Amino acid sequence: MNTNDILLAVLVLIGAPIIGCIASGIDRKITARLQGRVGPPLLQPYYDVKKLLSKDNMVVNPTQNFYVIVYLVFIVLSLLMLVFKQDFLMIIFVYTVASLALIVGGMSTGSPYARVGSSREIMAILSYEPVLILYALAIYLLTGTFKLTAVLDASSPMLMYTPLIFIAMIVVLNIKLKKSPFDYSTSHHGHQELVKGMTTEYGGPGFATIEIAHFYEYVFLTGLIFLFWASNPIIGVLLGIIAYLLIIVIDNITARVYWQWMLKLSWSVLLIISIVNIAFLYVSGVQLA
Amino acid sequence: MSLAKSPWIIHVNVNSCNGCDIEVVACLTPLYDAERFGVLNIGTPKQADIMVVTGSVNYKNVNVLKNIYNQIPDPKVVLAVGACASTGGIFHDCYNVVGGVDQVIPVDAYVPGCCPRPEAILDGVVAALSILENKKKGNIKGKEVKLKGKEVPSNA
Amino acid sequence: MLDNVIQNITEIKSMPEVLKAVEGFKSDGYRYVTMICLKANEGHELIYIFEKDNKLKNLRYFVKPGEKPKSMSGIYLCALLIENEYQDLFGLTFEGLAIDYKGHLYLTPNSPKTPLA
Amino acid sequence: MTTVIPFGPQHPVLPEPVSLKLEIDNDVVVGVLPSLGYVHRGLEKFIDTKDFNQTMYICERICGICSGIHGITYSRAVEKLFDIEVPERAQYLRVINSELCRIHSHLLWLGLFADGFGFESLFYECWKYREDVLDVLERFTGNRVIHSMSKVGGASRDLTKEQIDQILKTLDDLEPKVKNIEKVFVNNYTVKKRLVGLGVMSKQLAYEAGTAGPTLRGSGNAIDVRNTSDYDIYKDLGFKTAVAKEGDCYGRTKVRIDEIYEAIKLIRNAISKLPEGEIATRVKGFPTGEAIIRAEQPRGEVVYYVKGNGTKNLERLKVRTPTFANIPSLLLMLPGVKLADVPIVVLTIDPCISCTER
Amino acid sequence: MGMLNLVLGNISRKPATRLYPFEVRAPFKEFKGRIVFNPDNCILCGLCQKKCPPDAITVIKADKTWELNVFRCIMCTECVNGCPKDCISISNERAKTGAKEFIKVAVPIVDKPKAETPKADTTKAPKAAPSK
Amino acid sequence: MIENTVMLLIIVPILFSLLFVALPKSLYKYLAWAFFIIGVALSVNLVLDGTGVVQIGEPNFAMFENIVLILEVLIILFILAVSAKYKNWPTLGLGIVSAALFAYTFTNVPGVEGASLNIDQFSQIMILIVNIVGTAIILFATGYMDEYEEHRHLNRQKIFYFTMSFFLGAMNGLVMADTLGWLFLFWELTTLCSFVLISYNMDEEGINNGFRALALNLVGGIALSIGIILLATKYEISTLSGIGTYAGTDAAAMATVALPVALLCIGGFAKSAQMPFQSWLLGAMVAPTPVSALLHSSTMVNAGVFLVVKLVPAFAGSSLGTAIAVYGSFTFVMCSALALSQRNAKRVLAYSTIANLGLIIASAGIGTPLAVAAAIMLILFHAISKALLFLCTGEIEHTIGSRDIEDMSGLINKAPLLTTLAALGMVSMLLPPFGVLLTKWVSMEAASSNPVVIVFLVLGSALTTVYYAKWLGTILSSSMDKNAVPHKKPETYFPLSFLGLAIVVTSIFVFSIYNYFIKPQVEILLKTAPVISGQAGQFTSEIGAFAYAAIFVVLALAVLIYLATKNMFTPRTSSYYMCGENNLEKDRLMFRNGLCSYEKSSVSNIYLQNTFGESKLTTLGYAISIILIVIALAGGVGL
Ligand code: SF4
Ligand code: SF4
Ligand code: SF4
Ligand code: SF4
Ligand code: SF4
Ligand code: SF4
Ligand code: SF4
Ligand code: SF4
Q: Residues F176-198: pLDDT tens digits?
A: 887 777 788 888 888 888 888 88
Nearest-CA residue for ligand 4 atom 6 is E47
pLDDT at B154 (0 to 100): 35
pLDDT tens for D58-85 read: 888 888 787 888 888 888 888 888 888 8
Distance CA(C39)–CA(F315), nearest Å, equals 94
Neighbours of chain F (3+ CB pairs under 8 A): A, B, C, D
Residue E12: predicted pLDDT: 78
SS3 content of chain E, % helix, strand, coil (to 5): 20, 20, 60
Measured by CA distance, the residue closest to atom 7 of ligand 3 is D352
Q: What is the pLDDT of residue F260?
A: 79
Nearest CA in chain D to B9: D12
Q: For the residues F113-128, what does the mean pLDDT come to? A: 79
Interface size between D and F, measured as CB pairs under 8 A: 53
Last residue of some domain: F196, F214, F235?
F235
Q: Mean pLDDT, to the nearest integer, of F296-312?
A: 84
Last residue of a domain, one of F215, F235, F255: F235
pLDDT in tens, E81-130: 888 888 888 888 877 777 777 777 777 766 544 444 444 444 444 333 33
State the best of D3, D18, D32, D36 to mutate against chain F, taking most chain F CBs within 10 Å: D3
For chain F, what is the mean pLDDT? 80
Identify the pLDDT of residue F638.
56
Q: Is F566 on the interface with A (CB under 8 A)?
A: yes
Residue type, D271: I
Q: Which of A177-191, B139-153, D229-243 has the highest mean pLDDT?
A: D229-243
Give the number of domains in chain F.
2
Q: Which of residues 591-630 of F touch B (CB under 8 A)?
A: 592, 596-599
Q: What is the DSSP string of F375-436?
A: HHHHHHHHHHHHHHHHHHHHHHHHHHS--BGGGGTTHHHH-HHHHHHHHHHHHHHHSTTSHH
pLDDT for res E117: 46
Here the ipTM equals: 0.84
Give me the total of CB pairs closer than 8 Å, taking one residue from chain A and one from chain D.
82
Q: Is the pLDDT of residue C7 over 70?
A: no
Fold of B3-138: Rossmann fold (3.40.50)
Q: If contacts are CB pairs under 8 Å, which of residues 10-39 in chain A contact chain E?
A: 30, 32-39
Q: Check: CB of residue F116 under 8 Å from CB of residue F178.
A: yes
Residue D188 sits at the chain A interface (C-beta within 8 Å): yes
Atom in ligand 6 nearest the alpha carbon of residue E45? 8
Please write down the HEC assignment for all residues of chain B: CCCCCCCEEEEEEEECCCHHHHHHHHHHCCCCCHHHHCCEECCCHHHCCEEEEEECEECCCHHHHHHHHHHCCCCCEEEEEHHHHHHCHHHCCCCCEEECHHHCCCCCEEECCCCCCHHHHHHHHHHHHHHHHHHHHCCCCCCCCCCCCCCCCCCC
Maximum average pLDDT range among A93-107, F8-22, F82-96: A93-107
Site to probe by mutation for ligand 3, drawn from B22, B27, B81, B115 as the one with most ligand atoms within 8 Å of Cβ, is B22
Q: Terminal CA-to-CA distance of chain F, rounded, Å?
A: 48
- Cβ–ligand 5 distance for E54 under 6 Å, the answer yes
Task: Compute, in degrees rounded to 10, the torsion defined by CA atoms A197, A200, A204, A207.
Answer: -20
Report if residue A289 sits inside a domain: no
| Residue boundaries of the structural domains of chain E | 37-110
Quote the DSSP letter at residue D145.
S
List of chain B residues whose C-beta atoms are within 8 Å of the C-beta of residue E13: none
pLDDT at D316: 84
Average pLDDT of chain D to the nearest whole number: 83
In a domain, C107, yes or no: no
The domain boundary residue, chosen from F201, F235, F269: F235
Q: Which ligand is nearest to the CA of D61?
A: 1
H or E element in which residue F14 lies: helix F2-22
From F146, F147, F150, F203, give the residue whose CB has the most ligand 7 atoms within 8 Å, as the site to mutate.
Answer: F150
- Spatial CB neighbours of E65, under 8 Å, sequence gap ≥ 6: E58, E59, E104, E105, E106, E107
Nearest to B115 among D37, D62, D64 (CB): D64
Q: Tell how far the Cα of E88 is from the centroid of ligand 4, in angstroms.
A: 18
Dihedral pair phi/psi, residue F404, rounded to 5°: -80, 130
Nearest to B44 by CA among A201, A119, D5: A201
Instruction: Dump pLDDT digits (tens) for F624-635.
Output: 888 888 877 776
Encode burial over F494-523: b for 16+ CB neighbours within 10 A, e otherwise: bbbbbbbebbeebbbebbebbeebbbebbe
Quote the pLDDT of residue F259.
Answer: 79
Give nearest CA residue, ligand 4 atom 7. E47
Indicate the SS3 state at residue D322. helix
Range D149-177 average pLDDT: 83
Return the pLDDT at C8. 64
Does pLDDT of F369 surpass 60? yes
DSSP conformational letter for C13: -
Residues 6+ apart with CB under 8 A from F70: none
Question: What's the gap in Å between A65 CA and the centre of ligand 8?
Answer: 34
Pocket lined around ligand 4, Cβ cut-off 6 Å: E 47, 50
Domain assignment present for residue C100? The answer is: no
Residue contact E6–D121, C-beta within 8 A: yes
| F581 vs D contacts (CB less than 8 Å) | 6, 9, 19
Q: Give chains near C: 3+ CB pairs under 8 A.
A: B, D, F
**Domains present along chain D, CATH in parentheses:** 1-40 (no CATH), 42-332+343-349 (1.10.645.10)
Q: What is the pLDDT of residues C52-69, one digit of tens each?
A: 877 778 888 888 887 888
Total of domains in chain A: 1
Angstrom distance (rounded) from CA F172 to CA F242 = 20
- CA-nearest of C24, C31, C70 to D325 is C31
pLDDT higher than threshold 80 for residue F536 = no
F474-520 pLDDT, tens digit per residue, is 888 877 665 656 566 777 788 888 888 888 888 888 788 887 887 87
Residues F330 and F222 both lie in one domain: no
Query: Which chain F residue is nearest to residue A276, measuring alpha carbons?
Result: F451
Give the 3-state secondary structure of residue D32. Answer: strand
Pocket of ligand 6 (CB under 6 A): E 42-48, 59, 83, 85, 87-88
Q: What is the pLDDT of residues F334-357, one digit of tens each?
A: 888 888 888 888 888 888 988 988
From the CA of F500, how far away is ligand 8's center (Å)? Answer: 23
Chains A and D touch (3+ CB pairs under 8 A): yes
Query: DSSP per residue over A77-120, as a string?
Result: HHHHHHHTT-BHHHHHHHHHHHHHHHHHHHHHH--HHHHHHHHH
Q: Which residues of chain F have a CB within 8 Å of the CB of A60? A: 478, 480, 573-576, 588
Asked whether residue F582 is domain-assigned, the answer is no
Q: In which domain, by residue range, is A76 found? A: 3-284
Cβ of A200 and B49 within 8 Å? no
* Ligand 1 centre distance from Cα of residue B62 (Å): 18
Ligand 6 centre to CA of F619 (Å) is 88
Of the listed ligands, the closest to the CA of F153 is: 7
Residue ranges of domains in chain B: 3-138
pLDDT at position F580? 74
Q: How far is E21 from chain A (nearest CA, A)?
A: 14
Q: Which of A63, A104, A137 sits opposite F473 (nearest CB)?
A: A104
Radius of gyration of chain C (CA): 14
The DSSP bridge partners found for residue E58 are E67
pLDDT at residue E129, rounded to an integer: 37
Helix F2-22 × helix F28-49 angle, to 10°: 170
Residue E131 CB burial class (10 angstroms; 0-12, 13-18, ≥19): middle
Higher-pLDDT residue of E5, B84: B84
D10 and F600 within 8 Å at the Cβ level: the answer is: no
- Mutate which of D352, D354, D356, D357 for ligand 2? The one with the most ligand atoms within 8 Å of its CB, which is D352
> Cβ–Cβ contacts within 10 Å for residue F64, how many?
14
Q: What angle do CA F25, F30, F34 make, to 5 degrees?
A: 130
What pLDDT, on a 0 to 100 scale, did the predictor assign at position E124? 42
pLDDT of F134 over the 80 cut:
yes
In a domain, F600, yes or no: no
Tell whether the model's pLDDT for residue F364 goes beyond 80: yes
Asked if F549 is an interface residue toward chain A (Cβ–Cβ < 8 A), one would say no
Residue of B nearest to A207 (CA): B47
Which parts of chain A register pLDDT below 50?
A: none
Residue-wise pLDDT for F422-436, tens only, equals: 888 888 888 878 878
Q: State the residue range of the domain holding C65.
A: 9-71
Instruction: Look at A270 and F256; give whichever has higher pLDDT.
Output: A270
H or E stretch at C26? helix C15-27
Amino acid making up residue C75: I
Tell how far the Cα of F342 is from the centroid of ligand 7, in angstroms. 28
* Backbone angle region of D148, left / alpha / beta, with phi > 0 → left and psi within -120 to 50 → alpha: left
pLDDT score at D5: 82
Position F33 scores a pLDDT of: 83
**Cα D353 to averaged position of ligand 3 atoms, centre (Å):** 7
Which fold does the domain E37-110 belong to in CATH?
A: Alpha-Beta Plaits (3.30.70)
For C20-58, b where at least 16 C-beta lie within 10 A, e where not — what string? ebbeebbeeebbbbbbbbbeeeeebbbbbbbbeebebbb
Chain E: list its partners (3+ Cβ pairs within 8 Å).
A, B, D
Residues F519 and F399 in one domain: yes
Q: How many CB pairs under 8 A join C and F?
A: 9
CB contact under 8 A, F586 and B156: yes
State how far the Cα of B39 lies from the Cα of F20, in Å rounded to an integer: 72
Q: Which residues of chain D make contact with F610, given a CB cutoff of 8 A? A: 26
For residue B104, the model assigns a pLDDT of: 82
| Single-letter amino acid code for the residue at F560 | L
Say if A and E touch: at least 3 Cβ pairs within 8 Å: yes
pLDDT digits (tens, 9 = 90+) for D172-202: 888 888 888 888 888 888 888 888 888 888 8
Q: How far is the CA of F27 from the centre of ligand 7 (A)?
A: 24
Ligand whose nearest atom lies closest to the CA of F402: 8
Whose Cα sits closest to atom 1 in ligand 8? Answer: F398
Pairing state between β B40-41 and B8-15: parallel
Q: How does residue B149 score in pLDDT terms, banded at 50, 70 and 90? A: very low
Cα distance between residue A74 and residue A72, in whole Å: 5
**Pocket residues: Cβ below 6 A from ligand 1:** B 16-17, 19-20, 54-55, 82-84, 89-90, 114-115; D 61, 64, 146; E 74
Q: How far is the CA of D300 from the centre of ligand 2 (A)?
A: 8
**Predicted confidence band at B101 (pLDDT cuts at 50, 70, 90)?**
confident
